[in-house]
């Protein structure tokens, strides 16, 4: 039997408890229930410095980049901050610049499932920000997304998810990401055709 796909979740806010970290863990459970091997990178535990290429590569950034590179698929979770992702989340994905020289580079051939928790009802703005980033990094945005609104009603004061329907939806997202990863494995890569799209789309002609 083929080995399971590896789904890596990354995100959460820097506060404790973090509802976006809880939501991420629930989605990752869904991936595990669908047969994936899983791992979670809680950004609050990474202690990443702000991105710069000037002073060498900090171990936390190397750890993040290696784990992401080894994943078949990703789950991204950020709190909605000011109509976008948090600065901490954006800083983490900026460190994925370390994957520029890998083969294949960045997030090539990796499906990425996206979720957010928001105090209000405009979490889709954070999802859209993530979508731009995924595509900039050559990843594949999974169409099913989860923007959990009104987080104080959905999570208790300890950050536990108390809404069963939301839990089921997050499980569904984890399962969908796993399904996409399996399909990528079965059907091969989706690399740009040599000389075809590459020249015109990426401006290399
Ligand atoms: C700096 C900051 C900016 C925020 N901006 C928004 C926002 O634009 N829209 C919104 O719905 N909620 C906003 N919120 C509320 C958070 O999205 C909400 O509390 C979220 O659940 C926090 O996630 P966490 O529990 O993982 O920290 C903001 C919170 C902070 C601290």
CA 168/CA 203 separation, integer angstroms: 43
The pLDDT of residue 166 is: 98
For the beta carbon of residue 109, count every other beta carbon within 10 angstroms: 17
19 and 155 Cβ atoms separated by less than 8 Å: yes
Residue nearest to atom 23 of ligand 1 (CA): 79
The pLDDT of residue 2 is: 80
CA 73/CA 91 separation, integer angstroms: 20
Q: Ligand 1, residues 24, 83, 84, 119: which to mutate, most atoms within 8 A of Cβ?
A: 119
The pLDDT of residue 120 is: 98
Q: Determine, yes or no, domain membership for 190.
A: yes
The pLDDT of residue 201 is: 47
The pLDDT of residue 18 is: 98
Domain total of the chain? 1
Ligand 1 nearest-atom number relative to CA 21: 26
Backbone angles phi, psi at 107, to 5 degrees: -105, 25
The pLDDT of residue 192 is: 54
Query: Which domain does 132 fall in, by range?
Result: 6-202
pLDDT tens sequence across 151-192: 999 999 999 999 999 999 999 999 999 999 999 998 876 665
Q: Determine, yes or no, domain membership for 151.
A: yes
Weakly modelled stretches of the chain, pLDDT under 50: 195-205
Domain with 17 in it: what CATH number? Answer: 3.40.50.360
Q: Determine, yes or no, domain membership for 1.
A: no
Q: Determine, yes or no, domain membership for 58.
A: yes
């Amino acid at each position: 039997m083929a080995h399971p796909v590896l789904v890596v979740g990354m995100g959460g806010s820097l506060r404790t408890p973090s509802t976006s970290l809880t939501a991420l863990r629930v989605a990752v459970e869904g991936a595990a229930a669908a047969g994936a091997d899983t791992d979670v990178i809680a950004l609050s535990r990474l202690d990443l410095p702000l991105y710069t290429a000037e002073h060498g590569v900090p171990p936390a950034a190397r750890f993040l980049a290696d784990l992401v590179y080894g994943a078949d698929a990703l789950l991204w979770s950020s709190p909605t901050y000011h109509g976008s992702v948090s600065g901490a989340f954006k800083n983490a994905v900026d460190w994925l610049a370390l994957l520029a020289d890998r083969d294949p580079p960045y997030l090539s051939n990796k499906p990425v499932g996206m979720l957010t928790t928001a105090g209000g009802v405009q979490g889709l703005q954070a999802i859209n920000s993530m979508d731009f980033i995924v595509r900039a990094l050559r990843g594949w945005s999974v169409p099913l997304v989860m923007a959990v609104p009104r987080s104080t009603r959905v999570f208790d004061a300890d950050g536990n998810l108390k809404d069963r329907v939301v839990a089921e939806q997050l499980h569904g997202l984890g399962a969908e990401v796993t399904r996409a990863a399996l399909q990528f494995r079965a059907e091969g890569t989706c690399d740009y055709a040599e000389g075809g799209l590459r020249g015109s789309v990426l401006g290399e002609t």
